[in-house]
């Protein structure tokens, strides 16, 4: 589904990713872990098409297409979803309006009929239950005045509405208490199927207790330093990241 080969990317003229290789198949959940500054969020941003991130080398293939040539909206329409680490507030645009605009753009791209207001509301009600979100948030401006937990829940709610093939969760666990974490994880688990894949970017192992990964990759200094099964996450939780840095012999990792 997703194949990343020797990916180099720079932000503001500084190279952050120094050759990332990764392959994700349908039905799989991959966790990308790593210390702060290792390039986890840069990788997520490059995949979603953030324009300030410049790919300097390498290639990314998604469902047989060159992902890097696609505009962010086309990636979304083709089934990529990024749950933002810092969901953006949009004053003046209600959550419902925003979601409907996104969903209908995606449906149109897929050759499906656009949903009318009644059909859309039906879908919304059904998906709201999935993430246990307060319906009152629907008519509020996107993320404006939402608590940290409400914002993250709103991301998963959007994901549930858009039904992506490849979901990338960028530090979705940060700032969540344990109850919210469980709800968010439940939402993600309910959306898992043999046809779609999830990439979970996280600093901590905690979220992986609830979203159990098939593969765990450790990103250090812009490269994947180690890959393994779910046991690797537990090992990292116990021993920290330093032993991996020692293993690959890089003493100068950005803290």
Partner 1 sequence: MQPQSQQYLVEFDRLEKSLNGMASSAVHMIRREAIARFSELGFPTTKHEEWRFTNVAPVARTPFEPVLQYDAQGVTAELVDHYSLGDSVGGLLVFINGHWSKEYSRLSSLPGGVMIESLASAMRTKGELVNGHLSRYVRFAEHSFAALNTAFMQDGLFIHLSDGTTLEEPLHVLYIAAGSTGGFMASPRNLVVMGKNSRLSLAETYVGVAQAPYLTNAVSEVVVGEDSILEHDKLQIESNQAYHVGLTVIHQDGRSNVTSNAISLGGQLVRNEVTVVFAAEGSESTLNGLSVATGKQLVDNHTTIDHAHPKCASHELYKSILDGNARGVFNGKIYVRPDAQQTDARQTNKTLLLSDDAVVNTKPQLEIFADDVKCTHGATVGQLDEEQVFYMRSRGIGEQAARDLLTYAFASDVAGRVHIAPLREQLDALLHARLREGRIVKDI
Please report, as ranges, the residues that interact with partner 1 according to CB under 8 A.
Answer: 48-51, 71-73, 75-77, 81-82, 84, 87-88, 90-93, 97-106, 109, 114, 158, 162
Q: Is the dihedral of CA 162, 151, 125, 141 positive or negative?
A: negative
Pick the closer one to partner 1 by CB: 68 or 90. 90
Q: Give the C-alpha separation, 209 to 19, whole Å.
A: 29
Pick the closer one to partner 1 by CB: 44 or 220. 44
Pick the closer one to partner 1 by CB: 159 or 183. 159
> Closest separation between CB of residue 117 and partner 1, Å?
10
Pick the closer one to partner 1 by CB: 103 or 220. 103
> Closest separation between CB of residue 154 and partner 1, Å?
11
Q: Cβ(201)–Cβ(170) under 8 Å?
A: yes
Pick the closer one to partner 1 by CB: 18 or 50. 50
> Closest separation between CB of residue 242 and partner 1, Å?
34
> Closest separation between CB of residue 231 and partner 1, Å?
33
> Closest separation between CB of residue 66 and partner 1, Å?
18
> Closest separation between CB of residue 73 and partner 1, Å?
4
Pick the closer one to partner 1 by CB: 11 or 93. 93
């Amino acid at each position: 589904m997703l194949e990343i080969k020797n990916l180099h990317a720079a932000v503001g003229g500084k190279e952050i990713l120094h050759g990332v290789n990764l392959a994700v198949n349908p039905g799989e959940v991959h966790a990308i872990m790593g210390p702060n500054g290792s390039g986890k969020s840069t990788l997520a941003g490059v995949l979603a098409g953030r324009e300030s991130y410049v790919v300097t080398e390498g290639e990314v293939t998604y469902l047989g297409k060159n992902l890097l040539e696609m505009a962010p909206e086309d990636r979304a329409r083709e089934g990529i979803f990024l749950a933002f680490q810092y969901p953006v507030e949009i004053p003046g645009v209600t959550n419902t309006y925003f979601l409907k605009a996104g969903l209908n753009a995606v449906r149109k791209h897929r050759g499906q009929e656009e949903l009318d207001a009644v059909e859309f509301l039906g879908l919304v009600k059904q998906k709201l239950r999935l993430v246990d979100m307060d319906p009152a948030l629907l008519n509020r401006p996107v993320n404006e005045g939402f608590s940290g937990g409400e914002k993250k829940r709103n991301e998963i709610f959007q994901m549930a509405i858009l039904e992506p093939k490849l979901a990338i969760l960028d530090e979705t666990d940060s700032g969540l208490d344990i109850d919210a974490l469980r709800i968010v994880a439940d939402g993600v688990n309910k959306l898992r199927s043999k046809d779609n894949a999830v990439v979970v970017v996280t600093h901590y192992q905690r979220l992986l207790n609830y979203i159990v990964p098939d593969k765990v990759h450790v990103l250090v200094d812009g490269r994947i330093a180690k890959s393994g099964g779910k046991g690797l996450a537990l090992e990292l939780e116990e021993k920290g990241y330093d032993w991996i840095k020692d293993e690959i012999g890089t003493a100068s990792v950005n803290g």
